[in-house]
Each structure stands twice: as structure tokens, then as C-alpha cells.
Chains A and B, each alone.
Chain A
Amino acid sequence: MMTTMAEILLVDDNPADLDLTIDALAQSPWRTHVSTVSDGAEAMAYLYREGKYSEAIRPHLVLLDLNLPRKDGRAVLADMKSKPALRRIPVVIFSTSQARKDIESSYELGANSYVSKPPTLSEWVSAVKVLNEFWIGCACLPREVES
């Protein structure tokens, strides 16, 4: 359980999906601070605090879509899990894809969890609430480590 407010980074190129998630998190039991980026390259810049993201807080949890423009989710995942500074951050793949190969390869690359985006509004809200309840309310997330 977080003693400071949990920072969640949402990586998704669809603003409609981002809004759904942000709304659902707002309805969830544990308060969080949410940042969003809309492509893989931006995600990496954010995580490395480059350029306009130099003041960014390193997230405690990342919700990552797979199909992103520029650098896709799979590449971001592979990158994060191979860097000592970033590999400990839990990454939950949050994608429309239910394809076996996408699920399998995500776990192979080190994803901590994989959630399929539900087709209906109510299921989406429930899924995000349970996600919040588990990751923010229950689990311990690694805190920022001074590099």
C-alpha cells in the first residue's frame, strides 16, 4: 500500500480510451495521480525524464497499450525490462488484443500482467476498479530509487 500518492503512467494513443480509464480510476477506491502519453517514443522520454519531461515523476505503475505509433508497446516493454533503472516498475499491458501470441509474447518480454480492454463500458469500469484495488490498494510498488 502506498504511503505517498501512487503515480500511474497511461500509455495509449486513443484519447477516448484514456478518458475512460481516467474516469474509472476516479471512481475507484484508491486515489492516484495519472499521467498520459500517446506513443512509445513519448513513453520512453517520460520514463527517462528527457526534454519536456525533465520534471516528470517516475511512475509506480505503467498501463501500456500494445499497438502504438512510432515505438510500439512491445518495444517499450522490452526496453523497460532490460534497463536496471526501469525494470522493477510493474507494467500491466492494457490492450484490445486477445490474441494468444500477443499475450504470450508480452509475458515473455517480462510484462507483470495482461488485461484485455473489455468491450462494454460497465466491464471496463469494473476491470479498472479491480486493477486499482489490487495494484494500488493491495500490492507494494517499488518506490523511486535514487540513481
Chain B
Amino acid sequence: MNFDETDILLVEDSGDDAELAIHALRREHLANNIFIARDGEEALDFLFCRGPYSARSFERPPRLVLLDLKLRKVDGIEVLKQLKQDQRTKAVPVVVLTSSREEQDLVRSYELGANSYIQKPVDFEKFRETVKTVGLYWMVINRLPVFREAKQAAGGGS
């Protein structure tokens, strides 16, 4: 898989939730290349183009990051913080998708620059609907900062 063509980076340690999300996104043809990071460290390595992902380029970030907060190794809030504080990565849209019901997680996330925040519905069907709406809004309606378009406009040249 070409990591530089990633549409969505899904940071999720629950295998079930990840599968559900991917299924919903693929079914509605909202995203082709979805990469799953299973913990905060992997997410950071991916986004900061280091470790096993050192071949990745800052010029080709994922179009959207879906970020769970409860993660192993490095938690979601920390990932969000690092992402949004670095000039190279701050423009990447991050939608927090979490099972947390804590008010402070909500506030902290927006304060740290999360583009949006969603509480995962417990209901299986509602979860699927939610993911579909997320995909439709962020991948279709929303205009993303330009990395991808720049690549296309240049026609792959020089």
C-alpha cells in the first residue's frame, strides 16, 4: 500500500470498531485507502513520517484522521496535541471519534484544535450511520487544505 495515498488514517485500538468503520466507509465509496494505527505511537510515527513510516512524506498527509482517545502507548489527547502544535501537520483535519462521555475530553479536544468531536454511538446501526455522515461531510462537502490537489495539478511533473 502506498502510504502517501492514504485517504483516512483511523486510529483505533478496538478491532471491532475499526472493522465497522472501514466497512461503512467502503460501502458508501467514501474512502479507498484507509490505514489503521492501533495505538498512539503508531499514529505518531505515521503522521510524523518516522520509524517504519519514514518513507512517508509531509507533503502527502492523510486527508482525514479519525482519532480515538483511549489508546495504548500514547493516548489520543497527546497525539492530537502533537499533531496540532507542529507546523508541518497542524492543517490535517482531525475528527475525534471516541466512546468517552467525559465533558473535559470534549472541551480539551476542541481547545487543542480538534476539527470536530464525535461520541461513538453504542448502537451498531447508528455507529454505521455516523461514520457514513462523517465520511460524506469530510470527504465530499468539506474542502481540504491543498496537498492532494497540488499533486494532481502538477500532473506528476518535475
Tell me, yes or no, whether A20 is within 8 Å of chain B by CB: no
Tell me, yes or no, whether A145 is within 8 Å of chain B by CB: yes
CB distance from A133 to the nearest CB of B (A): 5
Q: How many residues of A contact B (CB 8 A)?
A: 29
Q: Is the CB of A98 within 8 A of B106?
A: no
Tell me, yes or no, whether A103 is within 8 Å of chain B by CB: yes
Task: Known A113-B116, A145-B107; judge A104-B145 contact (CB<8 A).
Answer: yes
> How many angstroms from the CA of A115 to the CA of B115 in the assembled complex?
13
Tell me, yes or no, whether A87 is within 8 Å of chain B by CB: yes
Q: Is the CB of A137 within 8 A of B149?
A: no
Q: Is the CB of A113 within 8 A of B115?
A: yes
Q: Is the CB of A113 within 8 A of B111?
A: no
> How many angstroms from the CA of A133 to the CA of B143 in the assembled complex?
17
Q: Is the CB of B107 within 8 A of A114?
A: no
User: Which residues of chain A are near B116, meaning CB under 8 Å?
Assistant: 90, 112-113, 134-135, 139
Q: Is the CB of B106 within 8 A of A140?
A: yes
Q: Is the CB of A127 within 8 A of B141?
A: yes
Say which size band chain B's interface belongs to. 20 to 34
User: Which residues of chain A are near B140, meaning CB under 8 Å?
Assistant: 130
User: Which residues of chain A are near B136, meaning CB under 8 Å?
Assistant: 130, 133-134
Contact of A139 among B91, B113, B118 (CB under 8 A): B118
> How many angstroms from the CA of A51 to the CA of B80 in the assembled complex?
37
Contact of A108 among B91, B138, B144, B149 (CB under 8 A): B91
Q: Is the CB of B133 within 8 A of A133?
A: yes
Q: Chain A residues in contact with chain B, CB under 8 A?
A: 1, 87-90, 98, 100, 103-104, 107-108, 110, 112-116, 127, 130-131, 133-135, 137-140, 142, 145
22 A–B contacts from the bound complex (CB under 8 Å): A88-B111, A89-B110, A100-B150, A103-B146, A104-B91, A104-B145, A107-B93, A112-B115, A112-B116, A113-B93, A113-B138, A114-B142, A115-B142, A130-B136, A130-B137, A130-B141, A134-B134, A138-B118, A138-B137, A140-B118, A142-B106, A142-B107
Besides A89-B110, A103-B143, A104-B145, 10 new A-B residue pairs in contact (Cβ under 8 A), listed by A number: A87-B111, A88-B107, A107-B145, A113-B116, A114-B142, A114-B144, A115-B141, A116-B143, A130-B136, A142-B106
Q: Chain B residues in contact with chain A, CB under 8 A?
A: 90-91, 93, 106-107, 110-111, 113, 115-119, 130, 133-134, 136-138, 140-146, 149-150
